[in-house]
Structure 1
C-alpha cells in the first residue's frame, strides 16, 4: 500500500475492500445461526419420565419413538433422591408436543419374550429406546411414570373390554391371546388378585369387529394346555393352538344350540371357567354342601374329584380333612362336597318346586333310610385316583340324617376292597385263635404211639406170621404136586373114572332089557333072549 506525499495525514492510496478470506467464517456463522434457530424452533417440550431402572438407555443416544418414528431423544438420566427409581429427561420434537399431554404412556423397548410373543429384536443392534403412546387429554404434563411392559391396547385401537372372574390364573398372563372358534380376536390386558384372595380378575380386549360375537350368554374358559379325553368314542385331543398350549390363552363362545343373542356392553362381567366342559355345563343352581366321613385311607382322592351317582356327576370334592374323636380315640377323615340337586332331573326339580321347602329334605331322609350311602371307588387303575360314588345299598346298616346340622352329614359305606380287608382280618383273627401248639403236641404223641405199635408188630406178630406163611406154602406145594398130570393120584383117578363109565353103560343096557322083558324079574332070562 502506498501513501500520498502532499497530505499531512496518511491515507490509503485506494478504497478499502474486504478480503475473500473473511467470507468463509461468515458463511459458517450464518449456517450455525440457521441451524440453531431451526433447532430452537423445532424443539418441543421437555418431560421427565420415571422408570424402575434405565436398562439399555444411554443419554444423548437413546431415542423416543412412536410407530418406529423418532419423536424425541433422551437428554439426561439421573437417580431419584430416594434411589428407588431413575429419572429420564426427554426432549420431544415440536411435532410431538401432543405426547406431553395427560394420559400419554412411555415404556422402555428391549428384547422381550412374553405371552404376547417376541418383540424388540431390533434393539439388539440399535440399542434400547423409549416407546410412546399419545394421550387424548388437552391438559399437558411434564412428569410421567413409565410402564414396565408395553401397553396391551394402543391408542386408536377399536374394540371392547370385558372383565372375567375365575378361581385361578392358570398359565394366562398379560398379552395372552383370546380366541373365538380358534381364531385369535383379542388379548388379555390386565390381571389382578381379588381383594379377598379367593380368585383373580382378568381384563380382556376383543378387537373390532369381533366384539359383536360377545353376547350376554357368552361362556368364557381357559384354553391353555391340552384337553385329552378317553371315552366310548375313542381318544380325543382338543386345544386352541400351539401358542395357547405354550403360553396360555382364553376362549369364548355361546352355549351349544343357542345364538349369540343380545350383545354385551363394554365392561360386562363374566365367569371364567376351568375348561370348555365346565363353561358349557348347564346352570345347576346353588350347590348344597354336605360332609361324608370315611375311615379308610384317602390316598388318591383330591380336591375337585367328582361325586358320581351311577355315572352322572352330581358335584365335586371341595375339602379333605382329618379329625380326632376323643370318645372313641379314633381318627375320622371328613370330606366336604358340593352337590347340585338340580342335576337329578326335571321331574325331581318339579316335585320339589311344587311342594313346600322341606320336600327335598324329606326325600333325602327317605333315600338314606332306603340305603343311600357314599363310597370311595377307584376311577383310574393306572393313577389310582379315587372319586366319591353315591349309590343305594339296601343291605347297609340303618343310618339317620340330622337335618339341623350344617353342613348335613351323609352316611358312608366301605368299598369292596375294604370289606375284603375286613374279612381277611377276621379270618386271620380266627386262625390266630386255633391252638396249633397243642395240636402239634398231640400229633407228636400219636406218631410216637404208632411207632411203638409198629415195633411190637415187628417183634411179636411178625415171627408167627412168617411160620403161618411157611405152612401155607407147604400146603400149596402138596396140592400142586397132587394136581400134576403125571402124579399117581391122577392115574388112579383116571382108571376109576373109566371103570365107572363101563358100569354106567352096563346099567343102561340092563334097564333097556327090563323095560322090554319085565317078566324076566320073575322067570329069569329066557333061552331065546339076546
Structure 2
C-alpha cells in the first residue's frame, strides 16, 4: 500500500556499532598453516625413517665416490656413501655413509666392511660384476651385541661369511710356500675349505696360517689329522713303478693344501675349532709315522764326514731308526786331535715288534741303559756308509762288528756317546795309502838302469842277428823256393811224372783184374792148386 504524500517518513532503526575482534581467523592463512603442518610431518617421518650414520676407514679411496658408492649386504642396498675425506694425519681415507633404518641392528662390534672390486687371489676371481656397475662396499654381519659406529675397512674381502657353517683351524709352517689368501684346501681331492689369513711369527722363524673347513667336512679333522702342501706334482719312484699324485690342475698352477688322517689312527672325535696343526712339505712326510719317544745320542767320528748332512738317516740293517740332528767339531787338548761328534735322534719304538698279537709302540725294554750296554758289548757300532755313489751322500749305519775292539758307552757325557768304527771307505783309503808307501820303497831307478842295460844287449843281439843270420836265412829261403817250384812243375798234368804215374796206375788196375779172375777160378776149382789148370776141351 502506498504511503500518503503528507505522511511523515517512518523512523529507521538505530544502528549499533559492534567492535571488531582482534582474533578473528582469516581463512586465507589456512593454506600455509596446513602446508607447514605437512612439512613438519614429513620432516618428522624423514627423521624417524633416517638410518644411522657410520664412518669406515680405508687405506685408499679407490672405487669410492660420494653419493654414488653403495653399501650392500647379500646384494641388497642398505646404504650409500655420503662423503669421502682424508684423515687428519693424511694416512687413511674416511668414508661417511648413511644406512637405512633396518640396518641399525647390523652395526655391531665385529661387523666387517670392504670394497668389492675385481680381484684375483688364490686361484679364484671375484668382483667381475663391478667392471660395469662400479665398486661398492660389501658387508658381513657380526655376532656380538655391542653396537658400533666407526669401523676399519678390510683391504681384502673375507674368504667366508660369518654365517657359513664350518670350523677354523691354525697351521704352523716353516715358510709360506705358494699359499695365498683364498688358496683351496682339499680332502680326498674334494674342495672343502680355504686359507683365510697368514702372518709371520713374532720371532721370524715360521709362518702361522688360518684355514676354514666347511661343514660337514670339518668333522673329518681330528687331533691326529695331517696337513701338507699339495702344490705341484708329487712323483714317487718305487718297486711298483712311477706314481704321480696331485690334487687338481688348479693346485698345480697356484698351489693348495690337503689334509687326511692316517689309516692306522684310532677313531677320535673332531678336533675343536682353532686347534693348531703342523703343516708338512708333502704327503709322504705328513703321513709317515711320527714317533713319540725320542732318545738322543752322539757318535764321535775321527774321519771325514763330508757328505753327511742334518736329517741323514740312521740305519739298522735297512730300517731307518733315527736321523742326524746336529754335526759339531771337537778338539781334545790331551791328545791334540780333532774329532767330529754327530748328534742323532733315535726312535726306540721302531725296534718294537709289530705283530698283531703284541702291543704296538712303546720302548724295546724298560731299561734302555742296560740294553744299550749289552748291545755295545756284543759289538754294536756306528759306521759311516755311502748312500749314493752319484751324490756322495752319507748315512750312519748301526750294525754288529764282533771283531771290533772292546768299547763302552760314555754315560758321563750328555747326551751319551756311543762307540764307532771306521768306514769301509776309510779302510780302503788306508790300504791304498799303505800300498803307495810300499811302492815308494821299490828302487825304480835301479830297475830302470838294469832295464836299459838289458835293452842295450838285446839291441846288440839283434844287430848280430841281422848281420850274420839274415843272409843264411835268405839263402835257405831261396833253396826252399826252388824246391817248391820243382815240385810244382812235377805235379803239372802234362808232366812226365804225371804220365808215368797214370801208366803205373793202369798197370796196377790190370794186375788187380787178373788177381780177381784167378781168385774166382780157384774158388771154383780148388784142386787146381795141386793138379794145375785142366786143359780146355778134355
The interval holding the TM-score normalised by the smaller chain is 0.5 to 0.7
**1:361 pairs with 360, 372, 389, which one?**
372
Gapped regions of structure 1 (runs ≥ 5): 1-30, 467-530
Match of 1:342 in 2: 349
Distance in 2 separating the partners of 1:385 and 1:40: 80
Q: Within 5 A, what are the aligned runs for 1:163-242? A: 163-195=170-202, 199-242=206-249
Alignment partner of 1:92 is 2:103 = no
Residue aligned with 1:361, SS: helix
Higher mean displacement: 38-47 or 129-138: 38-47
Shift of 1:319: 3.2
Listed one character per residue, the Cα deviations across residues 174-199 of structure 1 (whole Å, up to 9, x for unaligned) are: 33323222222222334344555555
Alignment partner of 1:430 is 2:438 = yes
**1:147 pairs with 154, 177, 202, which one?**
154
Match of 1:373 in 2: 382
Q: Does the C-alpha gap of structure 1 residues 397 and 121 become closer, same or farther in structure 2, counting only changes over 3 Å?
A: farther
Match of 1:440 in 2: 448
Shift of 1:229: 1.4
Residue aligned with 1:92, SS: strand
8 Å contact 1:116–1:174 — kept in the other structure?
no
Listed one character per residue, the Cα deviations across residues 235-256 of structure 1 (whole Å, up to 9, x for unaligned) are: 1122222333333333333331
Distance in 1 separating the partners of 2:121 and 2:210: 17
Match of 2:81 in 1: 74
Shift of 1:353: 6.5
Shift of 1:124: 3.3
Distance in 2 separating the partners of 1:389 and 1:422: 20
Distance in 2 separating the partners of 1:146 and 1:92: 16
8 Å contact 2:227–2:259 — kept in the other structure?
yes
Distance in 2 separating the partners of 1:363 and 1:167: 40
Q: TM-score, normalised by structure 2?
A: 0.67
8 Å contact 1:374–1:410 — kept in the other structure?
no
Shift of 1:341: 1.3
Residue aligned with 2:387, SS: strand
Higher mean displacement: 97-106 or 407-416: 407-416
Q: Within 5 A, what are the aligned runs for 1:25-44? A: 43-44=50-51
Count of matched residue positions in the alignment of Structure 1 and Structure 2? 436
Higher mean displacement: 326-335 or 356-365: 326-335
Q: Does the C-alpha gap of structure 1 residues 452 and 86 become closer, same or farther in structure 2, counting only changes over 3 Å?
A: same
Alignment partner of 1:114 is 2:111 = no
Distance in 2 separating the partners of 1:243 and 1:268: 27
Distance in 1 separating the partners of 2:329 and 2:369: 31
Residue aligned with 1:131, SS: strand
Shift of 1:364: 4.7
Distance in 1 separating the partners of 2:420 and 2:447: 43
Match of 2:306 in 1: 298
Alignment partner of 1:288 is 2:299 = no
8 Å contact 1:293–1:333 — kept in the other structure?
yes
Match of 1:492 in 2: none
Alignment partner of 1:312 is 2:352 = no
Alignment partner of 1:403 is 2:403 = no
Match of 1:496 in 2: none
Shift of 1:104: 0.8
RMSD: 4.3
Shift of 1:453: 9.0
8 Å contact 1:49–1:144 — kept in the other structure?
yes
Distance in 2 separating the partners of 1:215 and 1:378: 37
Higher mean displacement: 382-391 or 73-82: 382-391
Alignment partner of 1:130 is 2:137 = yes
Match of 1:389 in 2: 397
Q: TM-score, normalised by structure 1?
A: 0.68
8 Å contact 2:384–2:394 — kept in the other structure?
no
Q: Does the C-alpha gap of structure 1 residues 450 and 225 become closer, same or farther in structure 2, counting only changes over 3 Å?
A: closer
Residue aligned with 2:211, SS: strand
Q: Does the C-alpha gap of structure 1 residues 279 and 443 become closer, same or farther in structure 2, counting only changes over 3 Å?
A: closer
Distance in 1 separating the partners of 2:236 and 2:458: 71
Higher mean displacement: 273-282 or 126-135: 273-282
Match of 1:63 in 2: 70
Match of 2:260 in 1: 253
Q: Does the C-alpha gap of structure 1 residues 118 and 384 become closer, same or farther in structure 2, counting only changes over 3 Å?
A: farther
Distance in 1 separating the partners of 2:94 and 2:60: 9
Shift of 1:352: 5.8
Distance in 2 separating the partners of 1:167 and 1:54: 36
Distance in 1 separating the partners of 2:361 and 2:181: 45
Match of 2:166 in 1: 159
8 Å contact 1:228–1:238 — kept in the other structure?
yes
